[in-house]
């Protein structure tokens, strides 16, 4: 029975990734292959980028003797990635799954249902961890080497980390579900609690300035990493074969995982069968405001976004991450500026560094990508109403821009002020990030329009799964990395002013043909969309 449940979990996941966006039809084989190739290419680029970073850190740590540095940073990044990457899935799979009561009505032991969901989440955590930890471990093994005891500890630490991250994710998701069920505005409460939890964790990891302990004879020191507690315990166990730190870490992982498992196993039935109810809304008479069709559509899209916690947390996560990391980078700005005084080239590349990180995080906003899919059963209303397809699509694009622009402006201003950029450079960087907002809005919209996903019963599926969402997220992130690489080359050989102008031009060059298409050819295609 357990194997059948687990198989159904993986089947559902596979269908969500590779099934057609139209009901009852399988995705064409060529499209599936293309999607798989794109997925692995993006993963390869991510792994390559992390490997280059770890290679640079390992090279510097050999001079300072702090051979734990690479593994400590890998532990920080992998644990953060696992928690952030699985906390939403944990809430959906365990606490908010729509088939919980259906499965309980069948002759299936509740523990099997619970374990099948945990197993899938655990494997997701292993996949996320492998993206970061494996490159770091391989680079450390080649450049520094492991002792026999260190290699053994590295294996067991790799196996234990997902249990730690899944336990934290489950506790956070459980707490959010309990609190949200007691309050009226569940969307606002759920979103706020996730923001608080994620921000607290990210800030607990310490600012990037804490990574460096300062400069010793012109060489970067990683002494600050010794203050990262559990992350340093992990790295010292692997780098030095420190059995005491390994025992402490292993004990924490096993104790926490066992405690969380027993708690959730004991309360599983009560958790998923608790009737959360709906708030009582008192009707109030008020004057009806009249607005234009375009304004009405825009307000509808913005209201749709802010009344769905799943939409906010999955499609607008870049706003949170962009602000959080902007603040964290601003805290460590003085350290980077000190390095710039030692190496002039760093001073020249600081604007590129700011561009890379700000564009990367703010490119995670994909509000426009799932907006067509979310229409689902209401699509016929838009198609039959006397409204042009252009107005419908542009309203969704404008909603993306309205939602993403404030945080992009705030994050960009924080970085420009903290790193003391010249006014012209600061203005151009802000404009560059805003041009990326335009790119993400148009790019997400064209993917959502061409690859809608209407075969969903839960809106979480529409905002998390399907080619439009995946392609918009990965495509925007990849595009931001490509633009940063162009900025790096142009800044080194010319200056940052030319680099930002070129990037803005490239973003607008992508948006223009999409805008022309929506104006001239989208009308008929929109009418042919089917649920």
Q: How confident is the prediction along the chain (531 residues), in pLDDT tens digits per residue?
A: 666 766 666 666 565 555 544 444 555 566 667 667 766 777 787 788 788 878 878 887 777 777 888 888 888 888 877 887 777 677 777 776 666 666 766 777 777 777 778 888 888 889 888 988 999 999 989 888 888 999 999 999 999 999 998 888 888 777 777 776 666 666 666 666 666 666 665 555 554 444 444 444 444 556 666 666 788 888 889 988 888 989 999 999 999 999 988 888 777 777 666 555 555 556 566 666 666 888 888 998 998 888 887 788 778 888 887 887 788 778 777 777 776 666 667 777 788 888 888 888 888 889 998 989 888 878 888 888 888 888 889 999 999 999 999 999 998 999 888 888 888 988 999 999 999 999 999 999 999 888 888 877 667 777 877 778 888 888 888 888 888 888 888 888 888 889 899 999 999 999 999 999 988 888 888 887 775
Contacts of 235 (CB under 8 A, 6+ apart): 68, 69, 70, 71, 72, 74, 75, 225
Q: In whole angstroms, what is the distance from residue 144 CA to residue 100 CA?
A: 49
Contact residues for 19 (Cβ-Cβ < 8 A; gap 6+): 26, 27, 455
SS3 content of the chain, % helix, strand, coil (to 5): 80, 0, 20
Q: Which residue has the tokens 């107005």?
A: 391
- How many whole angstroms separate alpha carbon 131 and alpha carbon 129? 5
Residues 6+ away with beta carbon under 8 Å from 521 = none
Other C-beta atoms lying within 10 Å of the C-beta of residue 80:
19
Query: CB within 8 A of 183, min separation 6: which ones?
Result: 189
Contact 179, 276 (CB under 8 A): no
Residue 345 CA to residue 42 CA, distance in Å, equals 30
pLDDT at 312: 84
Which residue in 440, 442, 438, 444 sits closest to 467, CA to CA? 444
Q: What is the structure's pLDDT at 342?
A: 66
Cβ–Cβ under 8 Å, residues 456 and 462: yes
- Residue 199: CB atoms within 10 Å: 15
The model's pTM: 0.68
Instruction: Report the distance separating Cα 93 and Cα 102, nearest Å.
Output: 14
pLDDT of 218 reads 46
Phi-psi region of 218 (alpha: psi -120 to 50; beta: other; left: phi over 0): left
What is the C-alpha to C-alpha distance for residues 307 and 279, in angstroms, rounded to an integer?
14
The token duo for 531 is 């649920």
Q: How far apart are CA 408 and CA 95, in angstroms?
A: 32
C-alpha to C-alpha distance for 395 and 25, rounded to whole angstroms: 30
Query: To which residue do tokens 């390992």 refer?
Result: 58
Whole-number Å distance between alpha carbons of 25 and 19: 8
Q: Which residues contact 459 (CB under 8 A, 6 or more apart)?
A: 308, 310, 311, 374
Quick one: how far is CA 483 from the chain centroid? 19
């Amino acid at each position: 029975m357990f194997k059948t449940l687990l198989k159904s979990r993986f089947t559902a996941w596979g269908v969500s990734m590779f099934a057609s966006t139209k009901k009852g039809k399988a995705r064409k084989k060529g499209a599936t292959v293309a999607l798989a190739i794109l997925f692995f290419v993006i993963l390869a680029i991510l792994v390559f980028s992390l490997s280059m970073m770890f290679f640079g850190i390992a090279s510097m740590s050999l001079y300072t003797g702090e051979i734990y540095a690479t593994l400590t940073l890998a532990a920080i990044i992998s644990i953060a990635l696992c928690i952030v990457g699985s906390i939403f899935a944990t809430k959906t799979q365990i606490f908010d799954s729509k088939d919980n009561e259906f499965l309980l009505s069948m002759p299936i032991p509740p523990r099997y249902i619970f374990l099948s969901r945990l197993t899938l989440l655990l494997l997701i955590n292993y996949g996320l961890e492998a993206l970061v930890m494996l490159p770091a471990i391989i680079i450390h093994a080649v450049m520094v080497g492991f002792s026999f005891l260190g290699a053994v500890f590295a294996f067991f630490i790799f196996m234990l980390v997902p249990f730690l991250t899944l336990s934290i994710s489950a506790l956070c998701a459980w707490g959010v579900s309990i609190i949200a069920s007691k309050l009226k505005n569940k969307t606002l409460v759920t979103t706020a609690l996730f923001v608080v939890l994620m921000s607290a964790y990210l800030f607990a990891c310490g600012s990037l300035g804490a990574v460096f302990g300062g400069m010793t004879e012109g060489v970067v020191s990683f002494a600050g990493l010794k203050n990262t507690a559990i992350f340093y315990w992990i790295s010292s166990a692997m780098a030095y074969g420190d059995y005491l730190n390994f025992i402490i870490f292993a004990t924490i992982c096993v104790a926490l995982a066992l405690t969380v498992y027993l708690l959730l196993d004991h309360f599983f039935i009560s958790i998923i069968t608790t009737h959360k109810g709906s708030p009582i809304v008192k009707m109030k008479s008020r004057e009806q405001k009249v607005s234009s069709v375009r304004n009405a559509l825009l307000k509808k899209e913005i209201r749709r976004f802010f009344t769905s916690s799943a939409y906010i947390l999955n499609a607008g996560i870049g706003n949170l991450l962009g602000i959080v990391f902007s603040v964290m980078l601003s805290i460590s700005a003085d350290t980077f500026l000190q390095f710039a005084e030692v190496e002039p080239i760093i001073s020249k590349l600081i604007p590129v560094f700011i561009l890379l990180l700000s564009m990367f995080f703010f490119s995670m906003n994909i509000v426009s990508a799932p907006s067509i899919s979310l229409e689902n059963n209401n699509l016929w209303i838009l198609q039959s109403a006397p409204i042009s397809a252009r107005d419908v699509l542009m309203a969704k694009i404008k909603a993306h821009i309205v939602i993403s622009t404030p945080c992009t402006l705030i994050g960009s201003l924080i970085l420009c002020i903290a790193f003391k950029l010249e006014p012209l450079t600061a203005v151009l960087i802000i404009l560059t990030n805003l041009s990326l907002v335009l790119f993400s809005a148009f790019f997400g919209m064209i993917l959502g329009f061409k690859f809608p996903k209407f075969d969903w019963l839960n809106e979480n599926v529409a905002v998390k799964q399907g080619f439009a969402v995946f392609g918009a997220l990965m495509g925007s992130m990849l595009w931001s990395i490509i633009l940063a690489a162009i900025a790096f080359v142009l800044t080194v050989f010319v200056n940052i002013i030319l680099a930002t102008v070129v990037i803005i031009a490239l973003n607008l060059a992508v948006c223009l043909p999409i805008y022309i298409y929506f104006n001239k050819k989208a009308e008929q295609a929109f009418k042919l969309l089917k649920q």
